[in-house]
Amino acid sequence: MLKLLLGRAGTGKTRALLEAMAAGDGRPQILIVPEQHSHSMERQLCAIGGSRVSLFAEVLSFTRLANRVFSVYGGLAAPALDGGGRLLLLCAALKSVAPELRVYQRPSRKPAFLSGLLATVDELKTCRITPEQLWTAGEESGGGEGDKLRDLSLIYGAYEAMTARQGADPRDRLTRLAEALTREDWAVGKDFYLDAFTDFTPQERAVLSALLGKANSVTVALTCDKLEEEIQAREDFVAAFAHELKTPLTAIIGYADMLRSRKLDEEKSFLSANYIYTEGKRLEAMSLRLLDIIVTKKEEVQFQLVPAASLFEYLKDMFASHTEMEFHFQYESCMVRAEANLIKSVQVNLLDNACKASEPGSPIEVRGKLTERGYRFEVKDVGVGIPREEQKNITKAFYMVDKSRSRSKNGAGLGLALCAEILLLHGSKLEIESEPGKGSCISFVLPDKGGSLCLRRGAVFRH
């Protein structure tokens, strides 16, 4: 039977486990914790249960649990390879299959290469991936990636065969433990508790699965701080979404009821119908923006080389009708690697927000320049500004610093949430500098990784 003890950090989960063990009525009680916590847990257990608790309860790590089981059913005395022995055996395995390899046919014999290869084998073992699974993945992948996977499968398989003859690999200890617990009845009639783990490796999960099949009970304490934060964020999102729907829908229903129940003159009929149309279009825009956010999170981006000038020319065309604002464009011409349509969406949102935050006739600067980090795009206004305590929240969906101002400008608080998702796909993020009453400068950098993203520096253009 599996029991889950969930709660935030510091809410007493550990004490609850230790009290349950102390009240175990003499039935064997075993607490499994990470190795570094075993001594402190033993002291806490004795402090809560007294000296008698040591007669039927104990604290073990996964490694000590394996030793306990192997001491009963065999395997503890089997010769185990140390670090040097594992490297030598891997080198021998590599040589034995070298004629069949495609990528690693002439592999480096340097210790660094062998250490990296051994680390890969260790990771495969921890994740319980077999040579056969690697081979199948290589066949399915094809090409150069498939050749690498097939080579690793051959090397890994040869190493496994040699360890079966020469000595036990310490990395197999938990896999062997899971097999022994499944095969034997050592865990029958015992209560197991697990605490202080942030997560479990596939090998550890296999041990837990074996315990669940044999033990009297298994209780796992889990810290759920992040889960609770995600639940709260989801509840806040639903509440904000419901509120954003309620305001226009109430008005739409009211004006529609007026149109159907009263005989209005032509002017009032037009105003009512126009309000219904305007609010309906706002709801449509909000739903499309939400869909954009969802799609962007799942989208696989195809990057292309794009002239930076084309992005700024697009912005100038998009905002040509905003004659009430004073735009200043200044940018360096170069090629950037990006998904053009997505980056255009970010630029339009940032410039649109700057217009909404500014009074008519205010200057808005739109700049682009090459930096050591990559190509920096920024929009600077002298509008209302954003308080420092609000800045961390503005990329949350439906969050608006000034709700009345945003709604009057047909905003729904979704633009920057979409921008954040798009920039995340590009390995970037929004950078915000703002002061209430003085304006904001919001920017992002398309990263220059090894000089491959920003190419061919050109002239500086001012408009």
Return the pLDDT at 32: 95
Residue 235 has pLDDT above 80, yes or no: no
- The phi and psi torsions of 103 (rounded to 5 degrees) equal -90, -45
Report the SS3 class of residue 128.
coil
Residue 395 has pLDDT above 80, yes or no: no
Per the structure block, which two tokens stand in for 122?
Answer: 């260790």
Given a contact cutoff of 8 angstroms between Cβ atoms, the answer to whether 437 and 402 are in contact is no
The pLDDT tens digits for 185-234 are: 999 999 999 998 888 999 999 999 999 999 999 999 987 766 666 666 66
Residue 410 has pLDDT above 50, yes or no: no
Given a contact cutoff of 8 angstroms between Cβ atoms, the answer to whether 399 and 413 are in contact is yes
Nearest-5° angle of CA 412, CA 417, CA 420?
A: 155
Return the pLDDT at 269: 87
Beta bridge partners of 352: none
Q: What is the mean pLDDT of residues 300-328?
A: 85
Residue 459 has pLDDT above 80, yes or no: no
The sign of the torsion formed by the CA atoms of 380, 384, 389, 395 equals negative
What's this model's pTM, rounded to 2 decimal places? Answer: 0.53
Percent of the chain with pLDDT over 70: 81
Percent of the chain with pLDDT over 90: 31
| CA end-to-end span of the chain | 71
Residue 374 has pLDDT above 70, yes or no: yes
Given a contact cutoff of 8 angstroms between Cβ atoms, the answer to whether 180 and 68 are in contact is no
Name residues whose C-beta falls within 8 Å of residue 49's C-beta, 6 or more positions apart in sequence: 18, 21, 22, 57
Per the structure block, which two tokens stand in for 350?
Answer: 């940032």
Q: How far is CA 324 from CA 13, 321, 405, 407, in A?
A: 61, 8, 18, 20
Given a contact cutoff of 8 angstroms between Cβ atoms, the answer to whether 350 and 365 are in contact is no
The rounded distance, in Å, linking the Cα atoms of 328 and 382 is: 13
Stated length of the chain: 463
Q: Give 237's pLDDT tier (boundaries 50, 70, 90).
A: low
Quote the strand ranges of 344-438, DSSP E. 363-370, 374-381, 431-435
Residue 456 has pLDDT above 60, yes or no: no
The rounded distance, in Å, linking the Cα atoms of 207 and 227 is: 25
Nearest-5° angle of CA 282, CA 428, CA 343?
A: 45
Highest mean pLDDT: which of 101-110, 245-254, 264-273, 411-420? 264-273
Given a contact cutoff of 8 angstroms between Cβ atoms, the answer to whether 101 and 154 are in contact is yes
Return the pLDDT at 238: 63
Residue 455 has pLDDT above 50, yes or no: no
Pinpoint the alpha helices (H) of 167-265.
173-183, 202-214, 225-261
Return the pLDDT at 110: 65
Residue 407 has pLDDT above 50, yes or no: no
Q: Give 345's pLDDT tier (boundaries 50, 70, 90).
A: confident
- The phi and psi torsions of 3 (rounded to 5 degrees) equal -120, 135
Q: Give 376's pLDDT tier (boundaries 50, 70, 90).
A: very high
Residue 352 has pLDDT above 80, yes or no: yes
Q: Give 28's pLDDT tier (boundaries 50, 70, 90).
A: very high
Burial class (CB in 10 A: 0-12, 13-18, 19+), 71: exposed
Work out the angle between the directed axes of helices 13-22 and 38-49 (0-180°, nearest 10): 60
The rounded distance, in Å, linking the Cα atoms of 290 and 420 is: 13
Return the pLDDT at 193: 96
DSSP state of 271: H
Calculate the average pLDDT of the chain. 82
Residue 214's identity, in one-letter code, is: K
Residue 165 has pLDDT above 90, yes or no: no
Return the pLDDT at 5: 86
Return the pLDDT at 44: 92
Q: What is the mean pLDDT of residues 253-270?
A: 85
Residue given tokens 């398989």 in the structure block: 157
The rounded distance, in Å, linking the Cα atoms of 161 and 439 is: 68
